[in-house]
Chain A
Amino acid sequence: MDLDNLYQELIVDHGTQPRNFAELDSHSHDAEGFNPLCGDLVHVYVKLDGDKIADVSFTGKGCAISTASASIMTDLVKGKTLTEVRALFKQFQDLLTKDNQSEVELGKLSALAGVKKYPSRVKCATLAWHTLQDACKE
């Protein structure tokens, strides 16, 4: 059923025991994201090496969906270029809002596909990604 689809083991795991959950000492960029609807708060830290994300981490307080999404994101974008990250985010957004999207390149992120059935939770799932983009701006 929908629920087990949404709260898969992977999501609950990342949502309650997030990876890369700490401030990055040597970060070059950071940004804070806030979702006023839920009170989700996320702080993303990035160490950029030219155009490449050398390291990334986050802190904050949020629901399982936003925490899991942030956790999986940090695992996934490490080592990728900003262009690759933008493309990945676009594909992830499509997965959450459009029908029949391919999940091929999304890896663990595709565990969040269930969010599509809960429109009010899409913002939770994308908060960390928006914040990552904010951090890398300028």
Chain B
Amino acid sequence: MDYIKQIRQDFPILKTQVKGHQLAYLDNAATTQKPRVVIDALDKYYATINANVHRGVHFLSENATEAYEQARYKVQKFINAASPQEIVFTRGTTEAVNLVASSFCQQFLNAGDEIIITRAEHHSNIVPWQLACERHGATLKVLPLTDSYELDLTKLDQLFSSKTKMLAVSHVSNALGTINPIKEIISKARANNVPVLIDGAQAGAHVDIDVQALDCDFYTLSSHKMFGPMGIGALYAKKSWLEQMPPYQGGGEMILQVTFDKVTYNQIPHKFEAGTPSVADSIAWGAAIDYLQALDHEKIAQHEAGLLEYAEQQLSKVDGITFYGQAQNKVPIISFLLSDIHPHDIGTIVNDYGVAIRTGHHCNMPLMDYIGISGTARASFAMYNTQEDVDQLCQALAEVKRVFHGSR
């Protein structure tokens, strides 16, 4: 059996039939499917070691705590952080960005200061910064894009000032698939003494991540976009920042001692993990990381690159198609429109042929505004997708054209 067919066997949901068709799941940028080992890890946790963590001296609690901390260690290794203390579990990227925008900005952002983001960010890497700027009287500056919708790095230097307190940028664009040149952006920011947050939500499933080599200050991950469960993710932050930042939320777990006069906070990362965490999800995320790391990365990279090429080739044969975002360096995400047909009509019709794609603005309204459209249809691939999925999409698009133009 070929390697990809073998991988497909690990994902039970891929066998789903939709309206009499085999499911072609092409909405992986929204969330990826889960392999059996992840589903089993959730089951095993609740069936064998469920207990609250860091609080009990009993058998189950000790096992749960150990497994939870083991998961933290797996995340650390996955992005090559220097220490597990630099990994804060969150609900995902959104909460991780909010944590930094709230806690870091409380400590370091003053009236008149500036934060730099880009025109191509997901709303979750825009709105938290807008809120922080509003709260502290700071200004949001936006890196513009080129005509091909890539970050215009020639405009970056002029955005830095002595007032710049943060630069936040995504590793990979969820709307267009562009892999941003973050190494270069980070070194420019370094030269200007500006800390950098990288939104890595889309990177986890496609790109090797090494936060030490990148030398970023913050990096965010969402488990559910890299074959793990929903409801869990992480903030990576350099230790020195976590030590200087005030707590994000108050509660149990994040304290050492509480009296009504004084609270002593727990050590990092626990200072930032108030309340009972999502223990089962963390552990199952660890299982997803184990699963990913056991795969042949070279084969998968080759397969994904080939799939992207095949998809672009086949789709460009569809009369009236326009692609958005064709960067040299991109993950297998294809954003497109079909003549003047609204993307939602495309999405609804292809669904009747078993094809799952995302339609709309993809939480990137400022980017869509810049392109001058209200949204796109987006096919986003994962390692388990095949050329058959692409063919199924193309056939379904022919049906879309039949409905609207009465022809194939």
Contact = CB atoms under 8 A, between A and B. Distances in A.
Interface of A: 1-4, 6-7, 12, 15-16, 37-41, 61-65, 67, 118, 121, 124
B375 interface: yes
B361 A7 contact: no
Given A3-B403, A7-B403, A38 B344 contact: yes
A64 B242 CA distance: 50
Contacts of A63: 342-345
A12 B349 contact: no
Contacts of B361: 39
A39 B175 CA distance: 15
A10 to B, nearest CB: 13
Contacts of B403: 3-4, 7, 12
29 contacts: A1-B352, A2-B19, A3-B352, A4-B403, A7-B404, A12-B403, A12-B404, A16-B340, A16-B404, A38-B359, A38-B360, A38-B374, A38-B375, A39-B360, A39-B361, A40-B344, A62-B342, A63-B342, A63-B343, A63-B344, A63-B345, A64-B341, A64-B342, A64-B345, A64-B404, A65-B344, A65-B345, A67-B342, A121-B344
A85 B36 CA distance: 53
Interface residues of B, number: 20
Interface in B384-408: 399, 403-404
Nearest to B341: A64
A115 to B, nearest CB: 10
Contacts of B375: 38-39
A121 B33 CA distance: 24
B348 interface: yes
Nearest to A118: B348
Nearest to A1: B352
A124 B404 contact: no
B227 to A, nearest CB: 25
Contacts of A64: 341-342, 345, 404
B360 A6 contact: no
A3 B345 contact: no
A6 B400 CA distance: 12
A8 B316 CA distance: 28
Nearest to B361: A39
Contact of B374 (A3, A39, A65): A39
A83 B345 CA distance: 32
